[in-house]
Amino acid sequence: MRTIDWIDEAIVLVDQTRLPGDLTYLRITTVAELIDAIKRLAVRGAPALGVAGALGVALAARTGEPIGPLREARPTAVNLAWGVDQAAAAPDPLARALRIRDEDIAACLAMGVLGADLLAGHGATRVMTVCNTGGLAAVERGTALGVIQTMHERGTLREALALETRPLLQGARLTAWELARMGAPHRLIVDSAGPFLLARGAADAVLIGADRIAANGDTANKIGSYALALGARRAGVPFLVIAPETTIDLATPGGDVITIEDRGPAEVLSIGGVRLAPEGAGALNPAFDVTPADLITAIVTDRRVIRLDRGETPDHA
Ligand SMILES: CSC[C@H]1O[C@H](OP(=O)(O)O)[C@H](O)[C@@H]1O
C-alpha cells in the first residue's frame, strides 16, 4: 500500500482523516484539491508532503493552476517547498516527481536499517515515539516508525510506546493502526505521560521524525517532541531523529527561525466535532516545536548517522 502515487493522470492518496475506521483513497486532479487535502491533513508527514508537492507541479502543468499556494500550503515541513521547487525546476516535472517518489521509498528502507543497527548497538528494544512517522507519512514504511518496523521484522522490538499526539491524534489514529497492521507489540500513552514514563524506565530510546532540520541540528517536529527530549535527557536514554536528507535545510541556520504552523484554536477546543471546552474558551495550537541540537543524540538519515552528541552537525558530519 502506497500512501501517495500517480495513477492514470491523477494523484491517488490515502485519506488519513478517515483512519483508523476506513481505508479510503482520494483521486486528486487539480492543485486546488491537493492544497485542500494538505491543509486538512488528508495527506501529511514531511516526506509525503515532498512527494505531494512535486506531483502537484505535474498536475499544475496540466491544469494551468499556480503553484505558489501549493508551496505555502503548510510552512514547517521543508519537504513540501522542496518537492515543489524540484519539480518546477525540472524539464519534465512528472518524471522528477516520480523519481522523488521512488527515492523516498529507498530512503525509508535505508533509514530503517541504519536506525535499527544504531539501536541494536545500544541494546534498545523498547522505544517511545510521537505522532505518526510510518508509511502514512511517506510513500512506504516511513522514518521513525520505519525503524520500529525494521526492529519488529528483525525480532528485536519488545514494545513501542506511542504518544496519542493531541490534538489531531496521529498517534492514536494512525501509528496504532500501522503498528497493529504489522503485528508489532505496542501501547498508546497520553502525551503528558511520556517524560514521566521515561523517568520510570519504560523505554530504552526515543525515536521521532522531523519536519525541518536546521544546519546546526535543531529539529522542528510535532508538538510534544521537545518535552520528550527533555525527559530522555533526564532519564539518560538516547533521543534519535529519523529523517531523510531531504528534511535537512542547510539554508536555515538554527531552530529559532523555523516557522511553526499555528493551526488555530478549533482543533484544541473540540475533538471529532464534539466541543470539549466551554464556549468562550480560547486555545493556543502550535502544530510543532523545536528540539535544540544539544538534546538530540543523533540524526539518522538515509545516508548517514549524524552524532550530535559527539559534536557533529548536519552541515559538518
Ligand atoms: C515522517 S516525519 C512526519 C512528521 O510530520 C508530522 O506532522 P503532521 O502530522 O502535522 O504532518 C509529524 O511532525 C511527524 O514527525
pLDDT in tens, 127-148: 999 999 999 999 999 999 999 9
276 and 189 in one domain?
A: yes
* Residue 306, beta-bridge partner list: 299
50 & 135 share domain: no
Q: How far apart are CA 113 and CA 98, in angstroms?
A: 23
CA angle 103, 215, 129 (to 5 degrees): 65
Give the count of beta carbons closer than 10 Å to the beta carbon of residue 188. Answer: 17
Is 1 a residue whose pLDDT tops 90? no
Cell numbers for 214, please give them.
536546521
The CATH number of the domain holding residue 87 is: 1.20.120.420
Q: Is 173 in the pocket of ligand 1 (CB under 6 A)?
A: no
Q: What are the catalytic residues?
A: 211
What is the pLDDT averaged over residues 44-61? 98
Q: Judge if 90 and 201 occupy the same domain.
A: no
The average pLDDT across 195-204 equals 98
pLDDT at 317: 55
Residue 222, annotated ligand binder? yes
Q: Do 132 and 86 reside in the same domain of the chain?
A: no
Calculate the alpha carbon distances from 243 to 79, 163, 198, 283 in Å. 11, 19, 23, 30
Same domain, 121 and 72: no
Whether 113 and 64 map to the same domain: the answer is no
Helix 93-122 crosses helix 144-154 at what angle (to 10 degrees)?
Answer: 60
Q: Quick one: 148 and 254 in the same domain?
A: yes
The verdict on whether residue 39 carries a ligand-binding annotation is no
Give the nearest ligand 1 atom to 221 CA: 13
Closest ligand 1 atom to Cα of 145 = 1
Final residue belonging to a domain, choices 73, 102, 131: 102
- Please give the model's pTM, rounded to 2 decimal places: 0.98
**Residue 233 pLDDT > 70:** yes
316 pLDDT tier (thresholds 50, 70, 90): confident
Task: Give the domain range for residue 92.
Answer: 4-102
Number of domain units in the chain: 2
148 and 277 belong to one structural domain: yes
Q: What is the ipTM of this complex?
A: 0.97
- As a whole number of angstroms, the distance between CA 316 and CA 298 comes to 13
Q: Are the C-beta atoms of 119 and 147 separated by less than 8 Å?
A: yes
Q: Any bridge partners for residue 242, and if so which?
A: 300
pLDDT tens for residues 108-118? Answer: 999 999 999 99
Q: Which of 77, 102, 127 is the last residue of a domain?
A: 102
* pLDDT for residue 128: 99
Residue to probe by mutation, ligand 1, list 41, 129, 131, 165, most atoms within 8 Å of CB = 131
Residue 316 lies in a domain: no
Where residue 11 falls among pLDDT bands split at 50, 70, 90? Answer: very high
Q: Per the annotation, does 221 bind a ligand?
A: yes
Same domain, 210 and 131: yes
64-111 pLDDT, tens digit per residue, is 999 999 999 999 999 999 999 999 999 999 999 999 999 999 999 999
- Of 102, 135, 150, the residue at which a domain comes to its end is 102
Task: Give the ranges where 142-219 is alpha helix by DSSP (H).
Answer: 144-154, 170, 176-182, 194-199
